[in-house]
Amino acid sequence: MAKVLVMHGPNLNLLGRREPDIYGYETLSDINDMLQKQAAAQGVEADFFQSNHEGALVDALQQAQIDGVDFIILNAAAYTHYSIAIRDAIAAIQVPVIEVHISNVHTREEFRHNSVIAPVVMGQILGFGIDSYYAAMAVALKKIKEKG
Cα 16 to the chain's mean position, in Å?
A: 17
DSSP, collapsed to helix, strand or coil, labels residue 76 as: coil
Nearest to 47 by CA among 64, 24, 65, 23: 64
Distance from C-alpha of 55 to C-alpha of 22, rounded to nearest angstrom: 27
Residue-wise burial string across 39-66, b where 16 or more C-beta atoms lie within 10 A, e elsewhere: beebebebbbbbbbebeebbebbeebee
User: For this structure, is 101 an active site residue?
Assistant: yes
The one catalytic residue among 8, 79, 101, 133: 101
Q: Are 127 and 101 in contact (CB under 8 A)?
A: yes
DSSP, collapsed to helix, strand or coil, labels residue 1 as: coil
Phi then psi for residue 97, to 5 deg, are -125, 135
User: For this structure, is 23 an active site residue?
Assistant: yes
Residues with active-site annotation? 23, 101
